[in-house]
Structure 1
Amino acid sequence: MAEIVGVYRHERSENFDEYFKAVGVPYIGRKMMAMSNPRLEIEQNGEKWTIRNVSAMRTNELTFTPGTEYEESMPSGDVVKNVTDVVDGRLVTNSISPNGSRITRTYEFTPEGAILTMTHEASGQVAKRFYKRVVAT
């Protein structure tokens, strides 16, 4: 099984605009996100995990204990409820927005990198982000 903890550089995305359109992100926000090349940083300290997405526009940091509900503030101002679990070497986050829509984010890891798969349950839209591992810890 590949190490999860590390730093990853964004390489490419698939179906990004259509996915975020289905989620309800406005046009300008979708275009800005599509142009970003975020760095993904994943840390573990005991039972606590931190996932950090760093881009020129913003840094989004999530710290959680697997299996425990926590909140995430979205760029829109909405607050979603998340539960993240470690499942077979993957990080799987299930999110519920204030309007009840559900999103699943799955981070899969290889020695070379990571793939983030985002699934919007209501529309069936799926987007992927591919990352290359630049630092393993």
Structure 2
Amino acid sequence: MAFLNKNYSFVKQENFDGFLKAVGIPDDKIAKLVNFAPDQKIVQDGDSYVIHTAGPEGPKQVKFKSGVEFDDVIGIEKTPIKTTYTLDGNTLTQKITADKGSAVFKREFVGDELIVTITTDKWDGVAKRWYKSA
């Protein structure tokens, strides 16, 4: 897992605004979120992993065990969700379920790139965000 302990910086995105609209984010907040480009880093901690990001609400660390569902919150509104991260080789898939629907964030680590593919049950489209390690 060569991607562990590497810092990945945002490069570009595609259809992210469409995803945000589909999940009900108000128009006045979409511009801020589309321009939000946090670095991401994943580290291993024993049999767990920690994802480090910095969101609109500040830095966030999420500790998880692969395949184990847990309660979390997302967004400025602190929306409660159930989330499961599953690590399979160089792919980390995050499945989120909330009262408003579900979404999947598939993080694929390819060489020095991180490609995040985002889908939701509220939209037929696909959003992607690309990151690169230094």
Pairs within 5 Å for 1:1-137: 3-5=2-4, 6-55=6-55, 58-75=58-75, 76-99=77-100, 101-134=101-134
Equivalent AA in structure 1 for residue 25 of structure 2: V
* Change in 2 beyond 3 A, CA 1:15/1:125: same
Count of aligned positions: 132
Structure-2 separation of matches of 1:69 and 1:25: 25
Structure-2 separation of matches of 1:102 and 1:48: 24
Offset, 1:49: 0.7
The structure carrying a bigger strand percent of its residues is: 2
Structure 2 gaps of 5+ residues are none
Offset, 1:127: 1.0
Structure 1 stretches of at least 4 aligned residues deviating more than 6 Å after TM superposition: none
TM-score w.r.t. structure 2 length? 0.89
- CA-atom RMSD in angstroms: 1.6
> In the alignment, is the contact (CA less than 8 A) between 1:3 and 1:110 conserved in 2?
no
Offset, 1:92: 0.5
Structure 1 gaps of 5+ residues are none
TM-score w.r.t. structure 1 length? 0.87
Amino-acid identity (%): 23
